[in-house]
Every structure is written in structure tokens, then in C-alpha cells.
Structure 1
Amino acid sequence: MPAFWLARSLINDPVAYKRYTDQVPAIIAQYGGKVLARGGKFQVMEGPEKFKRFVVIEFPDFDSGVRCFQSDEYNEAARHRRENGAGEVETVILEAGEFTK
């Protein structure tokens, strides 16, 4: 069952944050991930308007998304946004689940 990596972020240092975003697509691909949305136009419908960037990535399954996020490669890349407050991010991995028509 597919799973989705949902992230919302606030970029405080665009130069340092770009060092992170330049590395991440290749890492995501290693785990079967496919970026569905990254940046772009958005409208907050409810809740705080703190975050200004949103990302949705589809993985073939929940475990693949978790393994990607917990991988050494990803955490090395994420170091660029975590150090010195270059970016604030909230990330959730969500299994697609069942839904009815």
C-alpha cells in the first residue's frame, strides 16, 4: 500500500537549505520515492500560517518512507538544514489507508 511523506517547512537560510534540497531527490529515488509536489502555489485553509513550503512524496509502502527518512544519507543531507536553524521542518509519513467511494 502506498505511503506519503508530507513535509511543511520554513526556510530561514536559503543558501544552506539549498545544500539540503540539492541532495534529497537522489536519496528519495533510492527508496522508490516519487515527488508529487514540491514548493508551488498553496493556500493554508486552516491552522497556523508559519510554514511557507510544502512537499508531498509518494513511496511504494510505509516502511520505504521511514527507511528513507532514517537513512544515513538522508540525515547527512538534512544536517545542512538542521544546523544553525537554516530551516524548520515538520515531516509525517502517512500510509494511504483504505477509503470508500
Structure 2
Amino acid sequence: MPKGYIIAHITVKEPDAYQEYVVKDTPILEGFGAKFVVRGGQSQTVEGDAPATQRHVVIEFESYAKALEAYNDPDYQQVADIRRRTADSLIYVVEGA
């Protein structure tokens, strides 16, 4: 079965407040078996036009269904409201190869 991924491109508007999201989302997502593959770090757009995103995040799950389950979890959605207030985000749930 292919793995599932949550892929996020995030521009943080309020760095101090955003840290609350990072602290609170991690244990919830890890409870669904999340493995953080990419979480911030250096990046560079090498082709195409892209928004000036500050953070890229790739989270791996055992399946696409598990990634959707984690994203749609009510506890996660409550914490995601912190991200929505403190950052601009593009979030994708993607099935792996």
C-alpha cells in the first residue's frame, strides 16, 4: 500500500504565536504515526514561480487514508486554527508512489 503525505508550504506571519502550533500539532500527528520528513530548513526555488514561502513541511503516514484521518481529526483541526491565524498555508494530502 502506498504511503500518504501531508505537504505544507507555510509563510509565518507571527513567529512567536506560530510556535504554539508547532508544539501542539506534533503529538497529535505523531499519534497517527506521522514521521516528519521535512520541517522547515533551508530551501530554494530552482524552477518556476513560487510564493515567498518560509517553511516547507512533508509528513509521512502509513497510508493516504491515515494522512487524511490525521488532517481531519477534530483535535488537530482545533490546533490548526492557531496556524490559520498566524500563517498563510497551502496544505496538500498526497498519495505516495
CA distance in 1, matches of 2:43, 2:35: 20
The count of residues paired between Structure 1 and Structure 2 equals 95
Structure 2 SS opposite 1:5: strand
CA displacement, residues 29-59 of structure 1 (integer Å, 9 cap, x when unaligned): 1111100110101111222232110001100
Q: CA deviation at 1:80?
A: 1.2
Q: Hey, what does 1:5 align to over in structure 2?
A: 6
Amino acid at match of 1:67: E
Q: Percent identity?
A: 24
SS of equivalent residue, structure 2 residue 8: strand
1:71 aligns with 2:95: no
Q: Which residue of 2 aligns with 1:89?
A: 89
2:7 is paired with a residue whose SS is: strand
Moved over 6 A (4+): none
Name 2:22's counterpart in structure 1.
21
> What SS does the corresponding residue of 1:74 show, helix, strand or coil?
helix
Are 1:50 and 2:45 an aligned pair? no
Larger Cα-atom Rg: 1
1:8 aligned partner, one-letter code:
H
Aligned mates of 1:7, 1:28 — CA distance in 2:
14
Q: Which amino acid aligns with 2:8?
A: A
| Alpha-carbon distance, 1:76 to partner | 1.1
Matched residue of 2:93: which SS?
strand
Which structure 2 segments of 5+ residues have no match? none
